[in-house]
Structure 1
Amino acid sequence: MLDIGRKLQNLREAHGMSQRALARRAGISNTLVSLIEKGKTCPFIASLKKILDSFPVELSDFFVPRPDAPPRTGVPRK
């Protein structure tokens, strides 16, 4: 399962951006960015698109697993 919050946090930090700066750029609240990164809420696609527009990342690319990502563990879903 994709951890949207962790992936977003890694992307933000890789670009040297604070949560507040990302929120300002995306036109959303920094509280929402924080909640997403902590896994306390799952963003609507429209909100995630606004966030990802702040980076050189397409929405579809965000959901593609990286080749260097650790393997998933657990029981596969049917």
Structure 2
Amino acid sequence: MNEVDISRNITEYRKRKELTIKELATLTGVTPSLLSQIEKGKANPSINTLKQISSALDIPLFNFFINDNSTENLVVRKDSRKKIMFAENDSFAYELLTPNSQGTIEFMIMKIPPGESSSKELFSHKGEEVAYVMKGCVSFHLMSTVIELNCGDSVKIPPHSNHKWENNTDEDCEVIFAVTPPSF
């Protein structure tokens, strides 16, 4: 297993956002000299510092711990997708269609069994989302409105909009969606 280079990952994400070390320092409250030492691998950041940097760069914290250098990591095979399941409902699942959440967009498929929903309550996230119903029908709760979506329908979900998905039918439902920036 390859060793993860947190300093390289921080530098890469900072450059993607087209920020200088000084600009990132201003956003994080961390001194430019400490950031420079972190990026050169001469200082180890605390978890709190990593949280500040990830927040300023608008990326999930765990992205600093991912090491994907191979082009082989660009392909996601159907039988090896990363799955996200929840303890309160193990029949509902998200599958990551992008290799990871390192880029600026995340692509996923959501499988909703009959009579299940994505969550008990409406939830929101900072990212913009576009979803497409690949299979079945789904009740989409957006703010105080319920929209019935059928196979082939799509919907754009603005950032910070409370929403949830509910399958009130007797058939499985599959929704494919993209989120930017990644939020899972």
TM-score (norm 2): 0.35
> Does residue 14 of the first structure (1) align with residue 16 of the second (2)?
yes
Which residue does 2:47 correspond to in 1?
Answer: 45
How many residues are paired up? Answer: 69
C-alpha distance in structure 2 between counterparts of 1:61 and 1:34, whole Å = 19
In the alignment, structure 1 segments of 5+ residues that lack a partner are 72-78
Which amino acid is 1:28 matched to?
V
More displaced stretch, 57-66 vs 34-43: 57-66
Bigger share in helix: 1
More strand by share: 2
Contact kept, 8 Å, 2:5 with 2:67, in 1: the verdict is: no
**Residue matched to 2:70:** 70
CA distance in 2 between partners of 1:43 and 1:28 (Å): 10
Give the residue type in structure 1 aligned to 2:28. A
Aligned-residue offset at 1:70: 3.1
Q: Which has the higher contact order (CA 8 A, sep 6+)?
A: 1
RMSD of aligned residue pairs (Cα, Å): 1.6
TM (norm. structure 1) is: 0.79
**Which structure 2 segments of 5+ residues have no match?**
72-184
Structure (1 or 2) with the larger CA radius of gyration: 2
Give the letter aligned to residue 70 of structure 2.
P
Identity %: 32
